[in-house]
């Protein structure tokens, strides 16, 4: 299996030489992992100490240094899920199915953190944790859609059926992203205007702007690191299930020939 | 709660959750590696 040089097993087996790692780690993940840690340390220093409070948002801008990168990483994760889903329906390859599922799971985590940070910011700014206004409502729909995607994958069925059904959901669900993103433009609401994809707050300058982009970079590297590990775990889980199935069949055959 | 408490909660909640998730993946990866054949876990 040599579909991808970073994510999947190489398949280049060398009999008698035990070089296979006992975990999902590799040189690539170690580099990404250490880069993430250094980036997080820098982000903490810049985000909590060096950057000054914002003229309008005050100290609450420090919550946005978490909120914006997590939602950006979540969007990237969901787009990868859609690409993986399309590729799976086209190629019927396990690689694309597992990549789509792994990315969706991490996307859900980052999106949950986006909502969590947004609620904290809303409590300070609006006085309430939650309002059913357009951006938050479409956000909820998006979050529930991907929770549904993960729930569907847990339904016991064949790998092909699971892959096909979840791929269709993965493709349909991504349509929610532009709706959620544009909700602040299309409908009047409480949420401030969009702050990513070309419109990082135009008032931002200097260290504030640097910290905003540092956060985006750190969370994208962190996402890549998590995705590789999660994909490899999914891969190992599939192999382990195949192995236990093979063993169960062999056991039944042995019982049959003995009786 | 004052602003500082919300800011600290946001940062700790975010990095704490990601750290917990990463630890869960890595721990499960190690366990799964024990039962999978070597040729199925050769990462490039």
Domains (range + CATH), chain A: 32-191+205-239 (1.20.120)
The answer to whether the CB atoms of B39 and A9 lie below 8 A apart is: yes
Mean pLDDT, chain A, whole residue set:
87
pLDDT tens digit at each of 44 positions of chain B: 689 999 999 999 999 999 999 999 999 999 988 888 877 777 75
Q: Which tokens sit at A226?
A: 């998590």
Which pTM was predicted?
A: 0.86
Please say if the pLDDT value at position A225 is more than 50: yes
Please say if the pLDDT value at position A130 is more than 80: yes
Provide the pLDDT for residue A203: 62
Confidence category of residue A5, pLDDT binned at 50, 70, 90 = very low
Reported for A186-189, long-range contacts at CB under 8 A and 24+ positions apart, including other chains, are A186/A134, A187/A134, A188/A134, A189/A133, A189/A134, A189/A135, A189/A136
**Beta partners for residue A58, in sequence order:** A54
Confidence category of residue A197, pLDDT binned at 50, 70, 90 = very low
Please say if the pLDDT value at position A244 is more than 90: no
Question: What's the length of chain B?
Answer: 44
Residue among A227, A236, A228 at smallest CA distance from A27: A228
Provide the pLDDT for residue A163: 95
Residue A30: Cβ within 10 Å count = 11
- Chain B positions in Cβ-Cβ contact with residue A48 (cut-off 8 Å): 7, 11
Q: Which of A1-5, A36-40, A44-48 has the lowest mean pLDDT?
A: A1-5
Alpha-helix residue ranges (DSSP H) falling in A61-133: 61-91, 94-125
- Chain A positions in Cβ-Cβ contact with residue B3 (cut-off 8 Å): 58-60, 124
Q: Say if CB A52 and CB A208 are below 8 A apart.
A: yes
Interface mutation target, options B5, B24, B29, B34, chain A, most CBs of A under 10 Å = B29
The answer to whether the CB atoms of B10 and A66 lie below 8 A apart is: yes
State the smallest CA–CA distance between residue A63 and chain B in angstroms: 6
- Chain B positions in Cβ-Cβ contact with residue A109 (cut-off 8 Å): 17-18, 21
Is B41 near chain A, with CB under 8 Å? yes
Q: Is the dihedral of CA B24, B26, B27, B32 positive or negative?
A: positive
A128 or A8: which leads in pLDDT: A128
The answer to whether the CB atoms of A117 and B13 lie below 8 A apart is: yes
Contacts of A22 (CB under 8 A, 6+ apart): B30, B33, B34
Provide the pLDDT for residue A195: 56
State the smallest CA–CA distance between residue A135 and chain B in angstroms: 20
Provide the pLDDT for residue B40: 75
* Mean predicted confidence (pLDDT) in A169-181: 93
The answer to whether the CB atoms of B44 and A5 lie below 8 A apart is: yes
Please say if the pLDDT value at position A23 is more than 80: yes
The answer to whether the CB atoms of A40 and B15 lie below 8 A apart is: yes
Q: Say if CB A243 and CB A251 are below 8 A apart.
A: no
Residue pLDDT, tens place only, A56-76: 888 999 999 999 999 999 999
Instruction: Nearest chain A residue to B2 by CA: give it.
Output: A124
Confidence category of residue A146, pLDDT binned at 50, 70, 90 = very high
């Amino acid at each position: 299996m040599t579909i991808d040089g970073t994510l999947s097993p190489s398949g280049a087996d060398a009999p008698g030489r035990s070089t296979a790692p006992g975990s999902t780690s590799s040189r690539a993940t170690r580099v990404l992992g250490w880069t993430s840690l250094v980036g997080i340390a820098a982000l903490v220093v810049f985000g909590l100490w060096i950057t000054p409070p914002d003229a309008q948002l005050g100290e609450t801008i420090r919550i946005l240094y978490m909120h914006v990168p997590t939602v950006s990483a979540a969007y990237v994760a969901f787009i990868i899920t859609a690409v993986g889903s399309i590729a799976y329906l086209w190629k019927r390859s396990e690689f694309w199915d597992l990549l789509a599922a792994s990315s969706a799971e991490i996307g859900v985590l980052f999106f949950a953190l986006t909502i969590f940070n947004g609620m904290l910011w809303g409590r300070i700014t609006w006085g309430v944790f939650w309002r059913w206004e357009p951006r938050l409502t479409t956000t909820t729909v998006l979050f529930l859609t991907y929770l549904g995607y993960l729930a569907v994958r847990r339904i016991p069925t064949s790998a092909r059926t699971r892959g096909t059904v979840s791929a269709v959901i993965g493709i349909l669900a991504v349509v929610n992203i532009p709706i959620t993103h544009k909700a602040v433009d299309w409908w009047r609401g409480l949420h401030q205007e969009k702050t990513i994809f070309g419109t990082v707050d135009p008032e931002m300058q200097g260290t504030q702007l640097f910290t905003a982009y540092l956060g985006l970079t750190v969370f994208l590297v962190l996402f890549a690191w998590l995705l590789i590990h999660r994909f490899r775990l999914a891969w190992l889980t599939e192999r382990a299930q195949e192995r236990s199935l093979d063993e169960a069949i062999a056991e039944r055959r042995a019982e049959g020939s003995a009786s | 709660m004052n602003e500082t408490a919300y800011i600290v909660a946001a940062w700790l909640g975010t990095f704490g959750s990601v750290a917990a998730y990463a630890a869960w993946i890595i721990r499960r990866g190690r366990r799964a590696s024990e039962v999978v054949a070597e040729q199925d876990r050769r990462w490039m």
